[in-house]
Amino acid sequence: MATAFNSKPGKSIDEPPSAGGYQAEPGEEFMNPRQQAYFRDKLLSWKDSILRESRETLVQLQTDTMREPDITDRASSETDWSIELRTRDRQRKLISKIEAAIRRIDEGEYGYCEVTGEPIALARLEARPIATMTVEAQERHERHEKVSREE
């Protein structure tokens, strides 16, 4: 029988862990040390969970063997492994984005749109802590990409 990967219920590993969300104090300065620490911890936790999942996949790939006698079962296992490896490759790229976000925290640039320089909403950063643009700038960027592809 084919081996099933990622059989854990719940959120995708591609989504950052949520711990109830950041609660800003009234009048709190944007990207103050408390916010920076919160998002750094969130990013590091997300990176750790991705790396842990990758290690589990590696162990599973090393211990599972392709000994299914039935060719259909073997093909199913190979398909599962291929999907899992593509997922891990996507997560490898995600780790690079997480590390870039941590560098932006260190450099004092985190939370500000790379296009407009405006603060990115805390709710957006909570949902996508690797965001580099405000929602509006991201939408403009995506519209421009769509137009460029169509030409």
pLDDT in tens, 81-136: 888 888 888 899 999 999 999 999 999 999 999 999 999 999 999 999 999 999 99
Domain holding 56: CATH number? 1.20.120.910
The better pLDDT of the pair 25, 9 is held by 25
User: Could you give the CA distance from residue 147 to residue 109 in angstroms, rounded to a whole number?
Assistant: 30
In a domain, 83, yes or no: yes
- This prediction has a pTM of 0.75
- Structural domain range at position 149: 113-151
Categorize the per-residue pLDDT at 9 as very low, low, confident or very high, splitting at 50, 70 and 90: very low
- What is the radius of gyration, based on Cα positions, of the chain? 20
In a domain, 63, yes or no: yes
Question: Do residues 67 and 30 touch, judged by C-beta distance below 8 A?
Answer: no
**Measured between alpha carbons, how far is residue 15 from residues 12, 70, 82, 121, 130 in Å?**
6, 36, 21, 18, 11
Question: Do residues 134 and 116 touch, judged by C-beta distance below 8 A?
Answer: yes
In a domain, 50, yes or no: yes
CB atoms near residue 97 (< 10 Å) = 16
In a domain, 17, yes or no: no
pLDDT in tens, 136-148: 999 999 998 888 7
Same domain, 59 and 90: yes
